């Protein structure tokens, strides 16, 4: 399996979620299953069914996170030397050439992407258009409303 890039912050968040699932969620669902079993007939026990479904979700998520962490390539954006180019982990300030609006994005892995926080997925159309660009370059992004052009105002590695 190929490695997947993730920032140091993103890896820490996944590790925290994994720890929470294993130490809090898993024991809680085991207790819920035991309590539901104690109620008797399992064939018509909605609490038991719900607890088993929750257990399946938790175990699946644990396996998913462990799999991602095992193939993750953790990248510390502050240690990246991109030579002024937009690379994974870079924070990019852009100006929309049509409206003049300024936006700031950090290019991150898929698990940590959150547009509201300015974190965009490395495989998103805008990130793909920005990779390799430098300050002063123009990136064209195919958006649902047509092609949008952004000028790269600043690139930093924070």
Residues 7-41: tens digit of each pLDDT: 999 999 999 999 999 999 999 999 999 998 888 77
Q: What DSSP element (H or E) covers 40?
A: none
CA–CA separation, 83 and 67 (whole Å): 32
> Which top CATH class is 4-75?
mainly alpha
Name 100's Cβ contacts closer than 8 Å, sequence gap at least 6: none
Confidence band for 1, pLDDT divided at 50, 70 and 90: low
Residues of the chain with CATH 1.10.287.180: 4-75
Mean pLDDT is lowest, of 32-46, 122-136, 141-155, for: 32-46
Stretch 74-100: mean pLDDT: 91
CATH number of the structural domain 77-156: 3.10.50.30
Residues of the chain with CATH 3.10.50.30: 77-156
Length reported for the chain:
158
Nearest to 130 by CA among 112, 148, 111, 110: 148
DSSP codes joined into one string, 45-73: -HHHHHHHHHHHHHHHHHHHHHHHHHHEE
């Amino acid at each position: 399996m190929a490695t997947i890039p993730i920032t140091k912050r993103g890896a820490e968040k996944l590790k925290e979620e994994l720890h929470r699932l294993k130490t809090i969620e898993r024991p809680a669902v085991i207790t819920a299953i035991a309590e539901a079993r104690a109620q008797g007939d399992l064939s018509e026990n909605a609490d038991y069914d719900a607890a088993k479904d929750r257990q399946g979700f938790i175990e699946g998520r644990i396996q998913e996170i462990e799999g991602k962490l095992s193939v993750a390539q953790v990248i510390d954006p502050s240690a990246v030397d991109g030579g002024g180019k937009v690379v994974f982990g870079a924070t990019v300030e852009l100006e929309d050439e049509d409206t003049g609006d300024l936006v700031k994005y950090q290019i991150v892995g898929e698990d940590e992407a959150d547009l509201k926080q300015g974190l965009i997925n490395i495989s998103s159309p805008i990130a793909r258009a920005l990779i390799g660009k430098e300050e002063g370059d123009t990136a064209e992004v195919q958006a649902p409303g047509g092609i949008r052009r952004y000028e790269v105002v600043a690139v930093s590695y924070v």
